[in-house]
Chain A
């Protein structure tokens, strides 16, 4: 066993510089855009503690403290504290449901003096640790049914607790563990089925289900014709076609019978079936106006009107990307997107180079969670997904969110610093 003494230098010199640099750039860009989003003439100082940008600076500084603490800790510690951390974060979620402060109909916050904590942000790294701990056990093989039970439980408990708040967006994030499962051996067919289900469901909402089934049927028959030599392929195709048909009719039935009118409207607006700029589509419309008005090179720092004048809702948190789009234009938003993709790609690369299975699984959990946040948040902001309120990692205003993502990421970087070790 080659201990850390086998490598030269302290933990700081072994910290992955690319990831750290990307993290730092995203956090600072986020801070700058929060400043622009809520900028007002009366509070010009970016250090004004009465404003969101002043507070965000405080969250950044405290995050730096957290980073330091994590880096100075022992890499092996995390395997040990994985389950306890999970339990603590779950208990926090339960506590939230009991003593939580209700804001806008959601009981997602615990009030501590003048600050509020959002435990669902911490449950992410808690769950990621526990998941990595369980799945890294020697005999666990996710491709087998009997090993799928506990991962689903670990994932399901926080999801259900968060759904009870209710905060569907934050709960949705936990589905990102399916990507981890895939990496660890879950057959790709499951991801394919999920994608197929999503596509047929959406198609069934736009077009009459009969047509969708018709198209699926014709495609299935063509595939069956070409693959008729393989009995297994024929059966699989026919089963999938049947599944798609059921999805199509099922979605339609659920949409019409189960969903509330306002939920139906939200989906309709998104799918372009219902055009209603002043009604339920207001968020998306305003968001598109803000981003679209940025043009190629943007209006310039602090020159955005749509975000600053509150036309865009939640402009410092969930819709922070609007400020980027409005003030920095296509150039700025593209750079931001590319920064995120670079970070995620780098994290996948780091995860793959881990010697320890625990570190790899944890790494993939980190990347999957960031990916889902990024994908859903940007898709919502640019009008490609329904309004699902989840923050843009490192960018959005909010202490819990920044702390949560920082801890999530830096535990992995701490593990990576000892990547050659079998922890």
Chain B
């Protein structure tokens, strides 16, 4: 046998084996093509500038600034000098391990933030050394910048998305930022824009060597849109200043549009605390401040009994139901007495009609008004539900469903509620008599109270309060905000009630806050509450005709409405309408006035000492 044949045979067999193998890995098996892309392609997200936020007069509230993140792609990480990395970033080994574990949990192939938002100086230092750490690279990102240290609760803040958020919002990936509160949250879709993508080629040492496919798949970022808020930043800042040392809220609305002019929550915080490297420590501090709760937007979330201002609604319901006329009189003998039931009154006593009952805030009068409303119906259930209907038409007891990211429903009781609460159905109007003076089971949020005031100012309708008036200079056109919502009380019934509210300043409970240059209408409130001293409450609008501003002020545990809330409301109105404050002494008294002692007293009552108390 010719021995050379074996050679030809071996060549042939080996050739077939090689061709078969090549066919299998090159033509049949697609996995290598994917691996090749993952090997060499790196996706870099190009964050677009987030939209700016302006106040209603074009003042810049929120802008952007540049920060840098160190990103990590776990699969590309090779053993590295942990000590050096710790030194560069000023972190410890635990941080490094923890962050890498978190990144791996998210994805081995996708970049995660390893060290977020570092300073320019650190960025410069790290850039030089980063080549020693394969799998790590830096990425520029945009941070928020707050030129004005105020309105923190209005503009909100942004933060890194977490794993759960990404699961629920597929458009986001690790390291993205999203609005977490305020306008930045509720207008996320508008402000965010659209991130661009750049695909880069990287070599085995993770160095960028060019564009993938010459940038064929790259996308350009679309900048976020600018948003114009309804807030008047000067008014907002004045409110924040006036609320120094107090807890509570000031909400001002433009009645003719429903635009929120000021949304003050006290205590508040400087929005710049939530930018940059110290963000997380500051956030933790703010988040855990359970005494002053600076992140808690009292204007939207805190629920209070409305107190005496609610008497205005009571009167309007009575007028609409026909159980009350402007000439109806009741005589007050220091309170409302019914059997063993007794509701005290500080009006000074005597016989009075509707207008005076408002300016003097007579409890007896409104107990009777309420009793007549309910008793006008065959049984208390029907009466209560009819009453409930009227009250709710002022926007109370329900979500406003507006463009603020948070809110509370408040509560306006109805017949079913009392059936459950009393455990029997035989209750009478007098059983729920606290409602007549805005106490009892009823609760409202400050923004609901302000909206209610706007409805009164408008003589029977309101526009859903909202915080944004234009997007990219394009006024909002959502009918939810631009079309009025009418109350069940006809506008003819408002005249006398508003006269009464006018008298509150002229001769009534808030006469100390009167201002001759503006015709103001208001109503004081002193709401009993289980926490401590009564809340000081005030609602007001001005001018009396064609009102420009409706306001609600609540000072927690401030006692009389006339003591804190009325002067603050009055100063706010003066500043908004006249553009200046003339009553310097009053202004100073408000700014310097602190309720720290009352809050400390409550704290000691609960915890026995004040070692951990923090003044507002």
Contacts and interface: CB of A to CB of B under 8 A. Distances in A.
Interface of A: 41, 179, 182-183, 188, 191, 278, 285-286, 288-296, 305-306, 309-311, 325, 329-330, 333-334, 337-338, 341, 344-345, 348-349, 351-352, 367, 371, 375, 378-379, 382-384
B201 A305 contact: yes
Contact of B18 (A290, A309, A348, A378): A378
A382 B32 CA distance: 12
Contacts of A330: 22-23, 26-27
B11 A337 contact: no
B124 interface: no
Max chain B Cβ within 10 angstroms of own Cβ: one of A179, A296, A309, A334: A309
A249 B210 CA distance: 53
A182 B6 contact: yes
A367 B27 CA distance: 31
B205 A310 contact: yes
A288 B204 contact: no
Contact of A309 (B6, B12, B32, B204): B204
B26 A375 contact: no
Interface in B476-511: none
Interface stretch (B35-43, B288-296, B442-450, B540-548): B35-43
A388 to B, nearest CB: 16
A320 to B, nearest CB: 15
Interface string B332-375: 00000000000000000000000000000000000000000000
B15 interface: yes
Classify chain B: how many residues form its interface, as a range. Answer: 35 or more
Contacts of A384: 17, 21
A285 B209 CA distance: 22
Contacts of A293: 32-33, 35-37
A333 B24 CA distance: 13
Nearest to A344: B11
A371 B11 contact: yes
B4 A289 contact: no
Nearest to B210: A41
B285 to A, nearest CB: 42
Given A295-B33, A384-B21, A289 B8 contact: no
A293 to B, nearest CB: 3
A309 B8 contact: no
Max chain B Cβ within 10 angstroms of own Cβ: one of A188, A293, A329, A382: A293
B585 interface: no
B36 A183 contact: no
Contacts of B40: 305-306, 309, 311
A290 B36 contact: yes
Contacts of B8: 345, 348
A382 B204 contact: no
A181 to B, nearest CB: 11
A286 to B, nearest CB: 8
B36 A292 contact: yes
B33 A292 contact: yes
B501 to A, nearest CB: 76
B80 interface: no
Contacts of B6: 182, 188, 191
Given A309-B201, A375-B14, A295 B27 contact: yes
B31 interface: yes
A289 B19 contact: no
B26 A294 contact: yes
25 contacts: A182-B6, A285-B35, A289-B35, A290-B36, A291-B26, A291-B32, A292-B29, A292-B35, A293-B33, A305-B40, A305-B201, A306-B36, A309-B40, A309-B203, A310-B203, A311-B204, A325-B22, A330-B23, A333-B26, A341-B15, A345-B7, A348-B7, A371-B11, A378-B18, A382-B18
Contacts of B26: 291-292, 294-296, 325, 329-330, 333
Contacts of B512: none
B72 to A, nearest CB: 16
Nearest to B14: A375
